[in-house]
Chain A
Amino acid sequence: GAVVSQHPSWVICKSGTSVKIECRSLDFQATTMFWYRQFPKQSLMLMATSNEGSKATYEQGVEKDKFLINHASLTLSTLTVTSAHPEDSSFYICSAKEAGVDNEQFFGPGTRLTVL
């Protein structure tokens, strides 16, 4: 089956630093990748949709300068949380969609970010 990995699985950083999270599709080409944020005991909130080779589309209320998304290849998308603050602490999950398969997303295992 389609596998999506995320790295790192858990990161702790100091306030004011930037953190990069990688999302990889291991055995398929992902033309579209999604980034979600999940607060404790809450659902997934879509942050942005990234299409390979083009700029990401951000959901309303998500700061694009704060959460930089790059989807430079068909197997890799990165989310960089810039100048992280404690309120950015959350569980970030990516998903990837195969080309030609309508609306079936494969989810990564998630990255827990803790900002001190």
Chain B
Amino acid sequence: AQSVTQPDIHITVSEGASLELRCNYSYGATPYLFWYVQSPGQGLQLLLKYFSGDTLVQGIKGFEAEFKRSQSSFNLRKPSVHWSDAAEYFCAVGGPGQKVTFGTGTKLQVIP
């Protein structure tokens, strides 16, 4: 069965610092991978996705993620965090015609 692990429940970074959110997945074939962001009381917004091709994926708001098949990882990065990035981030995995499974989320706190 497919699954996603986000090992960090809560991360605190200073504004302007770099960010990396970890995501490990389990999937039987080449996965489709996603990162979503959720602000309090809101739905989810897609930051970026990987279906195939270049393993370094650029997304919105200055985020990027790298698919590493050997490590079954799809970590999300941002070189300089802004206070408005404070939110909850979900990694998700799916496949062609398959349902999408979400990780448990990482809550990001940004301090001045």
Contact = CB atoms under 8 A, between A and B. Distances in A.
Interface of A: 4, 6, 34, 42-44, 46, 49, 91, 93, 95, 102-110, 112
A99 B95 CA distance: 16
Please list the 3 inter-chain residue pairs (A to B) with the smallest Cβ-Cβ separation, ordered nearest first: A107-B44, A107-B43, A109-B43
Interface of B is mostly: loop
Given A102-B97, A103-B100, A104-B49, A44 B90 contact: yes
A59 to B, nearest CB: 8
Nearest to A93: B43
A85 B32 CA distance: 37
A42 B105 CA distance: 7
Contacts of A102: 32, 51, 96-97
Contact of B102 (A43, A103, A109): A43
Interface in B20-42: 32, 36, 41-42
Given A43-B90, A43-B105, A44-B90, A105 B100 contact: yes
A1 B101 CA distance: 23
A10 to B, nearest CB: 9
Contacts, number: 49
Interface residues of B, number: 23
Contacts of B42: 109-110
Interface string B42-71: 111110010100000000000000000000
A71 to B, nearest CB: 16
Given A49-B99, A102-B51, 19 more contacts: A6-B43, A43-B102, A43-B104, A43-B105, A44-B44, A44-B90, A44-B102, A46-B99, A95-B44, A102-B32, A102-B96, A103-B32, A103-B96, A103-B97, A103-B98, A103-B100, A104-B46, A105-B100, A110-B43
B15 to A, nearest CB: 24
Contacts of B98: 103
Contacts of B101: 46
Contacts of A104: 46, 49
A12 to B, nearest CB: 15
